[in-house]
């Protein structure tokens, strides 16, 4: 036979193979390049002064949170087949690789726009460590459930989870089924793999309006005033749910994210004002 069942399939791939059907939800894509030369310098100063392992992921995550906080009407989800509802908190889901990169999960950080940089680093790293070391009880329960479930039951099970967590807003964290599990947006860093442009699809369980990929910072030609210089450039790539975010709305978010990542000297609301 030309095909054989795959063995040792990761939890994420089992979920992906069963919960996705043919594309039907509208999505739009966009990318923008940011000059992060000053940002990288501020990151280095911050690390030297505080000893905190601050990364571009933390900077972009908080910048995205501040962008949604400024435009709260975009912090919405679609429920009951078309009803739009606004979230009251900016909660971001930061992707985390597990099992030495064989599996994929993530940590939802609540109220990111209200966290300072040290608190954000602590929250992300703490949850990521718990997931990777098997000490996150909620993740272990949900992972165990999905691993034990036969593939032919997995799709209806995921539909049931979607109904409970997104439609009914049932909150069962001890069973590994938190309410609104992905929150406002998903943040994924692929720069560690040397990728400078990439896009990703929405997870049907997500119900979030944006998925943001952080790619590798690379030296690129950049116009500064009337001069052409080589600058350190970060390309951010985003997938948007067009039911919530259109081109104009995406532009509003992009403007805020650029401001908070690219110009750390802008004041107390800047993600790197503490480091500048």
What are the φ/ψ torsions at residue 114 (nearest 5 degrees)?
Answer: -100, 0
Domains identified in the chain and CATH numbers: 29-135+178-262 (3.30.559.10)
Q: What is the pLDDT of residues 88-111, one digit of tens each?
A: 999 999 988 766 666 677 889 999
What Å distances lie between residue 53 and 44, 122, 133, 240, CA to CA? 9, 9, 19, 30
- pLDDT score of 275: 47
- Here the tokens at position 202 are 């929405």
What pLDDT shows up at residue 267? 42
Q: How far apart are CA 136 and CA 125, in angstroms?
A: 12
**97 strand-pairing partners:** 104
Instruction: Tell me the two tokens of residue 241.
Output: 């749910």
Q: Distance between alpha carbon 116 and the CA centroid of its chain, in Å?
A: 18
Instruction: Tell me what pLDDT residue 151 has.
Output: 86
- According to the model, what pLDDT value does residue 32 have? 97
Model pLDDT for residues 123-181, shown as the tens digit of each residue: 998 888 887 777 777 777 877 888 888 888 988 988 898 889 888 888 887 777 788 88
Q: Is the dihedral of CA 120, 245, 214, 165 positive or negative?
A: positive
Question: Where does the pLDDT of residue 276 fall: very low under 50, low under 70, confident under 90, or very high at 90 and above?
Answer: very low
Indicate the pTM of the whole model. 0.85
Percent of the chain with pLDDT strictly greater than 70: 87
Instruction: Name the average pLDDT for the chain.
Output: 85
Query: What is the sign of the dihedral through the CA atoms of 246, 106, 112 and 81?
Result: positive
pLDDT at 3: 46
Torsion of CA 175, 179, 185, 187, to 10 degrees: -10
Pairing verdict, β 76-79 and 83-86: antiparallel
Q: What pLDDT band is residue 67 in, cutting at 50, 70 and 90? A: very high
By the 10 Å C-beta count (0-12 exposed, 13-18 middle, 19+ buried), 209 is classed as buried
Which whole number is the average pLDDT over 48-72? 93
* From 196-205, 231-240, 252-261, the region with the lowest mean pLDDT: 196-205
Residue-level pLDDT at 58: 93
pLDDT band of 268, cuts 50, 70, 90: very low
208 or 265: which leads in pLDDT? 208
Write phi, then psi, for 229 (nearest 5 degrees): -125, 165
Using CA atoms, how far apart are residues 120 and 126, in angstroms rounded to an integer? 10
Count Cβ neighbours within 10 Å for each residue of 111-134 and write b for 16 or more, e otherwise: bbbebebeebbebbeebbebbbee
């Amino acid at each position: 036979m030309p095909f054989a069942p795959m063995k040792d399939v990761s939890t994420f791939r089992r979920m992906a193979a069963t919960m996705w059907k043919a594309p039907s939800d509208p999505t739009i894509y966009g990318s923008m390049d940011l000059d992060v030369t000053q940002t990288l310098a501020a990151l280095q100063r911050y690390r030297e002064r505080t000893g905190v392992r601050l990364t571009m992921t933390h900077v972009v995550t908080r910048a995205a949170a501040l962008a949604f906080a400024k435009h709260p009407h975009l912090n919405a989800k679609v429920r009951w087949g078309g009803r739009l509802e606004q979230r009251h908190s900016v909660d971001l889901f930061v992707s985390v690789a597990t099992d030495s990169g064989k599996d994929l999960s993530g940590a939802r950080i609540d109220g990111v726009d209200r966290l300072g940089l040290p608190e954000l680093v602590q929250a992300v790293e703490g949850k990521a460590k718990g997931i990777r070391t098997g000490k996150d009880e909620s993740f272990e329960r949900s992972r165990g459930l999905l691993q034990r479930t036969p593939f032919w039951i997995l799709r209806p099970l995921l539909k049931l989870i979607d109904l409970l967590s997104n439609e009914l807003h049932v909150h069962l964290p001890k069973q590994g089924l938190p309410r609104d599990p992905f929150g406002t947006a998903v943040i994924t860093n692929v720069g560690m793999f040397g990728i400078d442009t990439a896009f990703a699809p929405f997870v049907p369980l997500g119900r979030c309006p944006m998925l943001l990929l952080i790619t590798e910072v690379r030296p690129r030609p950049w116009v500064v005033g009337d001069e052409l210089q080589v600058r350190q450039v970060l390309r951010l790539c985003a997938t948007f749910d067009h039911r919530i975010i259109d081109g104009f709305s995406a532009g509003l978010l992009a403007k805020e994210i650029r401001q908070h990542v690219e110009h750390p000297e802008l004041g107390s609301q800047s993600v790197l004002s503490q480091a500048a």
